[in-house]
Structure 1
Amino acid sequence: MTDGYLAVDSGGSGLRIAVGALEDFGPFGDFGLFRGFGACGRGTPVRRGSREPVRTGARGIDPGHLMEQLAPLARASAAEAGVDRIAVAVVGAAGLATLGDALRAELPGALARELGTRTVALAADAVTAYAGALGFRPGAVVAAGTGLIAVGTDLTGWRRADGWGHLLGDCGGGAWIGRAGLEAALRAHDGRSGGSAPLLARATERFGPVTDLPGALYPRTDRAAVLASFAPDVACCAGGDPVAAGILRDAARHIADSAAAVCPDGDGVRVAVTGGLPKLGRALTGRLEEELADRLPRARWVPAEGDPLDGAVRIAAGLAAGPLALPDAPGMLWVTTAGGG
């Protein structure tokens, strides 16, 4: 029987998984040398995904909805990878720190029943982002996509900043940028100060009449993803629109604030930004470089070596090899076995 691993990245824009055989993992050293999946071991995992975000409700992240999507994806991927049983599963989930009680209570048992899983690691998406970006080294990582959370570690404990969701925080993230852009569009529609005619035109093109936005947006359970979908429009307008440029400038300041709040002390400590937000281009990243240099002059801003799904694979490799170098902490990283613990 071939034992395998399952790595999961669950966020505001959907679900991604990777499945491979545990025997494909080679010697790892400090886990910090690979770029992408292939160099992490001898084999490349099978990857699949879903664009449907996992629901949240009164109990937080819905473990039943997660398994509805995850189980068929995992089975199909395991069959393609030649894996008979998913022995190790690493699930990185957005909102785990504040919305993960039901997931912690129910997901390990569901994975054991459905996939034969013996060891489960539940991690905040920021932790898998950290492992993907920096490996098992001290430093700080900002996971900036639909939402935004920063985590840092000296390998003895975690520091966290933001990650409070699109209604209370995630300042500088995709939903934050999109919401600010839509606010500027509505200001222009009303004739109020701070409005942006270019953003109004973009919003109308993307969503239709802006007067219909509240009714279309507020009832949606995926409104964070819908807000974030407007962030590229803000970036496209930033070159010629001072309002859009100002939104990205403020976003860069928020991102740097969160990085500074979690970064461990020391010269040359690595800081990375991962997620989809850097893809908005120099209108954001140029400002961010300036803000990080100002706030963290002793740190080194480095490219992320991999993304959160890469990080989940790395954690699976670490679990297969022995005790993890990353610290275990409630709401951040929790490892359990089929027998509990």
Structure 2
Amino acid sequence: MNATGSGAVVGVDVGGSGLRLQFVYAGRRSPVHTAPGARIVDHGVDVAALTADAARLLAEGGVGPGADGGARLDVAAVCWSQRGLLFLSDPTEVVSAVASGLGATRTAVVSDAVASLVGALGSVRPGAVVAAGTGAVAFGTDFGARDTSVWRLVDGWGHVLGDRGSAAWVGLLGLQAGLRHHDGLPDGSERLLVAGEAVFGPTPRWPRRVMTGSNAPELLASFAPHVVDAALAGEAMAQQICQEAGESLAQSLLSAAAGIASPTLVATGGLLDAQPVRAALESSLADAGATLTPAAGGALEGAVILATTLAETGTIPRHPAYVHLS
């Protein structure tokens, strides 16, 4: 592959489960390349390790300063989307590490909420997205730079403090309903108790299994399909949990979109494959006079779109918390 024109544009999406990278050159997209996800060290996310992985993936594709031998492609622009940018990293340090590590002419580092929105919309335009996976977070913006612009993050507080409507939240409420039946309390569910015992063993083991360890959200989320199955079978408490999950996601999405003129609303995440949850989300939005637009893509697609915009125009909308440029 010979380096011509302005070089390749690169999108990178970093999450807890993995790093995904894709580059585009002359209108052609590379395959999606992967590496391990964010590693947390004493000072936060280990960005040096992540950028080294990304540089290696690019070099294997003949791109960037680390490419071995022969002609190679320069990097015209890179957009680095990172989970935990707000809480686990110094954005200035991330920009510096990415710019030096990948050797791009222009570098943008954005919160994964921004990349998720752009990917879901398929372009850089006003809108809001709610993402319902293991956790739940909503984000909306008009991409304005003036004082009256809207950049709004809703929820994403984790399985203990928030993430209402997420798979972990659904799983947690399902297990609580099972324990209420075990204790002879109102609003319990025998079906969810039996399902919980099949998954997690006898009830005395549940607290330690789902309340300790770094994988507690994933363990709780693993029970969400059992709640959905029970809801589809007509179990009243499971139906109520799924209804409340969809309503909570709608509330977060509408809150994130507040103040944006004519926003496009989108929703992503594996929990939305659950018909009872999605139906409750769409019904709640309809009651508010709003509708969902099908999502075009995810955070990696958003990072590629932002990198392309950066290469073509020299900039993307800035924000002191969510978007940083070198």
Call closer, same or farther: CA 1:324–1:86 in 2, change over 3 Å: closer
Change (3 A) 1:332 1:111: closer
Q: Does 1:89 align with 2:78?
A: yes
Query: Which residue is 1:314 aligned to?
Result: 305
Alignment equivalent of 2:318, drawn from 313, 321, 328: 328
1:255 aligns with 2:259: no
Per the alignment, residue 98 of structure 1 pairs with: 87
Kept after mapping to 1: 8 A contact 2:52/2:101: no
Conserved 8 A contact 1:129-1:141: yes
Correspondence for 1:34: none
CA distance in 2, matches of 1:61, 1:68: 13
Larger radius of gyration: 2
> Does the CA-based 8 Å contact 2:188-2:237 persist in structure 1?
yes
Partner of 1:54: helix, strand, or coil? Answer: coil
Distance 1:161 1:197, change over 3 A: same
Q: CA deviation at 1:189?
A: 3.6
User: What one-letter code is carried by the residue in structure 1 that aligns with 2:88?
Assistant: L
The one of 222, 236, 248 aligned to 2:215:
222
Per-residue CA deviation, residues 19-43 of structure 1 (Å, 9 max, x unaligned), is 224x33xxxxxxxxxxxxxxxxx21
Q: CA deviation at 1:265?
A: 5.0
Equivalent residue for 1:174? 167
Q: Which letter does structure 1 place at the counterpart of 2:161?
A: L
Contact 1:121 1:335 in 2 (8 A): yes
Post-superposition shift, 1:99?
2.8
Deviations 1:178-208 (A, max 9, x none): 2222222333344433332222333333333
* Equivalence for 1:8: 12
Q: 1:54–1:228: structure 2 CA closer, same or farther, 3 Å change rule? A: farther
Does residue 129 in structure 1 map to residue 116 in structure 2?
Answer: yes
Contact 2:168–2:221 at 8 Å: present in 1 too?
Answer: yes
Whether the 8 Å CA contact 1:122–1:333 is kept in 2: the answer is yes
* Rounded Cα–Cα distance in structure 2 between residues aligned with 1:77 and 1:196: 53
The 3 A distance-change label for structure 1 pair 78 and 176 is farther
Q: Which of 43, 51, 66 is 2:28 aligned to? A: 43
Over aligned residue pairs, what C-alpha RMSD do you find? 2.9
Aligned to 2:294, what secondary structure does the other structure show? coil
Contact 1:16 1:47 in 2 (8 A): no
- Equivalences, count: 309
Question: What's the TM-score once normalised by structure 1's chain length?
Answer: 0.79
Give how far 1:333 is off.
1.6
Deviation, 1:56, is 3.9
Equivalent position of 2:21 in the other structure:
18
Question: CA shift at 1:226, angstroms?
Answer: 2.7
Contact 1:4 1:85 in 2 (8 A): yes
| Rounded Cα–Cα distance in structure 1 between residues aligned with 2:102 and 2:173 | 43
Q: Which residue of 2 aligns with 1:39?
A: none
Q: 1:236 to 1:149 in 2, by over 3 A?
A: same
Whether 1:184 aligns to 2:177 is yes
- Secondary structure (helix, strand or coil) at the match of 2:153 reads strand
Identical pairs, percent: 35
C-alpha distance in structure 1 between counterparts of 2:75 and 2:212, whole Å: 37
Unpaired runs of 5+ residues, structure 1, are 25-41, 337-341
- Partners of 2:53 and 2:170 in 1: CA distance: 29
Partner of 2:45: 61
Distance 1:251 1:61 in 2: 30
Matched-pair contact (CA < 8 Å) for 2:54–2:102: no
- Partners of 1:237 and 1:74 in 2: CA distance: 46
**Does the 8 A contact of 1:174 with 1:228 survive in 2?**
yes
Give the deviation of 1:64 after TM superposition: 4.6
